[in-house]
A and B are shown apart, each in its own frame.
Chain A
Amino acid sequence: MSMLHKFHGGVHPPTHKEQSTRTAIATLPIPAKLVIPFHQHVGNIAKPLVQVGDYVLKGQLIGMPEDGISSAIHASTSGTISEIGMQVVAHASGLPDLCATLLPDGKDEWIPKTGMDFRSAAAADVRQVLRLAGVVGLGGAVFPSDLKLRAGKHKVKTLVLNGAECEPYITCDDMLMRERADEIIKGAEIMRWALEAEQVLVGIEDNKPQAIAAMEQAALASTDDIKVVAVPTLYPGGGAKQLIRVLTGIEVAAGVRSTEKGVQCFNVATAQAIYRAVQFGEPLVSRIVTITGNVREPQNLEVLIGTTVQDVVDYAGSLPDTDGYIMGGPMMGLPLPGATVSIVKAANCIIASSPKIFPAPPPAMPCIRCTRCAEVCPAELQPQDLYWFAKSKEFGKAQEFSLFDCIECGACSYVCPSHIPLVQYYRFAKSEIWSRESEKNSADAARDRFEFREYRIEREKQEKAEKLAAKEKAAAEAKLAAAKLAEAQAATSVTPPPMTEAQAKIQAAIEQAKLQAAAVKPKNTEQLTPQQLAEIAEIEARRAHIHELASTDTEPPNGHDKNQ
């Protein structure tokens, strides 16, 4: 057995895991109503494919993954879509997001499912299947799994399966490993194949002996090199970087992805979801949720995505002094805005809180710089300094002190003798920095657009001026050319130019026309009175006179006028 390594710091909070591991995983009956958010994953919100009134089957695609980082959303059971609109979701803000409300018909009828033999398929096809099956990281990070299964430019040597489940109260992975170890191992085989990894390490904290035994048993049946390793129980040993450190000794530095070091890490429940999606064509429509804390029967339930927290709590038996619900564990979990929000893919645990279980924290006192937080920080940061910078809103300094390496595990707040809510400060500073960055980016974009517009207006003006100048120049040139031509003609027209062939033809045509005109006899020239004859004679004489004048007094016309 390979030697285990250690990560810095860590704490030992009471685990409270035994309450919810007494009974096997039960399946929650189909509730009366499901509220399925379209944004349950990291990245872009899925695009709704259904309309109000549509009848959907279990596993039917209702949200199409958008470009880039995104994942699919499915109907969790068969029924009718009764509403698509904004509803409060499980988010720290308590703000509404786009959800589909599904009224189940109770038949729980699946869409036609088709599994695939991954070994004879292309890895890209398997990834596409996972994308459309909506498989995301079920440890709580909900990052689309297909994107993590890409063998990029760095060769992944080791695949780490995370079964550590270090947070108090949560036991969903523990129960899953106990009961469905073979499915997890088969999922691990698919992942190892897609990543072309050499070995698989399954890290499980040593407070779960039954899960370790079940996983070891299942791993024996596999032809792959899958090793189940018991790791010491120490919070936050289930953090991806911490588990990688413990299992392989590899330190994943700030801003570096673990794949660059040849390691990729997945949660065990994700492995099982990948197996169901690839082998049976079953999209992710349910997950195991631990319901614990202030309930009558703490346990693990297989819950359809979209079930309201209220339904889950009612099944476990709610108790009267419950004053709120936490999604996740007590260290990193987020208080829910109410019991009406629904179970999403990230919801591994629901803790009903009561003043008895989580008494109100004692009032905070000033930081005395005891550095106990620095001693327990698994990311080897200086939490007391980060607190100082975040408090005084010196975000640049906070970034210099590697604020973004903070995994928000809460170990610092846990040991703080002054009970300062340190993680809240770090979250505030992080989101402030992100929003400033995005503001700066949009300001830069606005500047570029403004400058381009100025440039375009200037260019158009210039083009117009150039066109006008070109036109004026052309007109002036034409005038000059005409003047020159006329001058040249005036110089040569002293003697009439010899008749060309064309001019001769024109002359001939004119003569013929004259003859024709002479040949036509006026019709009304008969029986004229002597008076009329006299008038005609007079007119004829005048005409003859004009003709005479025209042919003798004036010079023969020399072509055309100068200005013509």
Chain B
Amino acid sequence: MLSALLVMSGIAIVLGAVLGFAAIKFRVEGNPLVEKIDAILPQTQCGQCNYPGCKPYATAIAAGEADINRCPPGGEEGIQKLADLLGVEFKPFGGETNAPKPKSVAFIDENTCIGCTLCIQACPVDAITGAAKQMHTIISQECTGCELCLAPCPVDCISMELIEENISNWKWKYPVYALKVAK
């Protein structure tokens, strides 16, 4: 009877120690769900979701504080992906969230720019170059089209330009053809 108790408690102690060690050794840093949600978000860093960036929004979704339909740049496809990941219902855009817009990049009218650096400070991805009292310009490959530089500009010299279809970004379209109609 005693030996059985000792064996059982011995096993319990050993297993407990193993589990305790594993809990320390293989500890997961941060919430892995946040990373997964962040991977789906388009990384525009535009703040249209009312969070100061994509990562904070992802954290809020993971914590159940934010809706999944707050990201216009991600489009409906983004909402669908989030719904699939989180196992929740798809939710269309609506309410206070803006409608999605076609992709565009910012453009600075260099003749009007006064070199105030306000847009440089506003850009979340450092996609504007320039210095005080020098002309600024957009690095268009890095621009996410978040429009955060539009509001601070005191001379309204920044405009958004649509990314038009060209040879290098052209895609084959979904095949559309006539089907035989059953008689």
Instruction: List chain A positions with a Cβ less than 8 A from chain B.
Output: 39, 89, 91-93, 95-97, 362-365, 421, 424-425, 427-428, 430-432, 435, 439, 442-447, 449-454
Contacts and interface: CB of A to CB of B under 8 A. Distances in A.
A449 B169 CA distance: 23
B179 A363 contact: yes
Contact of B180 (A93, A95, A97, A362): A362
Contacts of B169: 435
Q: How large is the interface on B (under 10, 10 to 19, 20 to 34, 35 or more residues)?
A: 20 to 34
A453 B177 contact: no
Contact of B125 (A365, A421, A432, A453): A453
Contacts, number: 81
B175 A95 contact: no
Given A449-B125, A450-B43, A363 B178 contact: yes
A446 B180 contact: no
Given A364-B177, A365-B180, A447 B38 contact: yes
A93 B171 CA distance: 8
Nearest to A434: B171
Contacts of A454: 53
Nearest to B52: A454
Interface of B: 38, 41-45, 53-55, 124-127, 141-142, 144, 165-167, 169-175, 177-181
Given A89-B167, A445-B142, A453-B126, A431 B172 contact: yes
Contact of B172 (A95, A430, A442, A447): A430
Contact of A446 (B43, B166, B171, B177): B43
A431 B175 CA distance: 13
B123 to A, nearest CB: 8
Given A363-B180, A443-B42, A39 B167 contact: yes
6 contacts: A92-B172, A363-B180, A421-B175, A431-B172, A435-B171, A446-B44
A428 B170 CA distance: 11
A439 B77 CA distance: 14
A308 to B, nearest CB: 19
Given A421-B175, A424-B172, A428-B173, A450 B125 contact: yes
Contact of B43 (A39, A431, A443): A443
Nearest to B166: A95
Given A95-B166, A450-B45, 20 more contacts: A89-B167, A91-B167, A91-B170, A92-B172, A93-B165, A95-B170, A96-B167, A363-B181, A421-B175, A427-B172, A428-B174, A432-B172, A443-B41, A446-B43, A447-B38, A449-B126, A449-B142, A450-B55, A451-B55, A452-B126
Contacts of A449: 125-127, 142
Contact of B171 (A424, A432, A442, A452): A432
Contacts of A432: 171-172
Contacts of A89: 167
Nearest to B146: A446
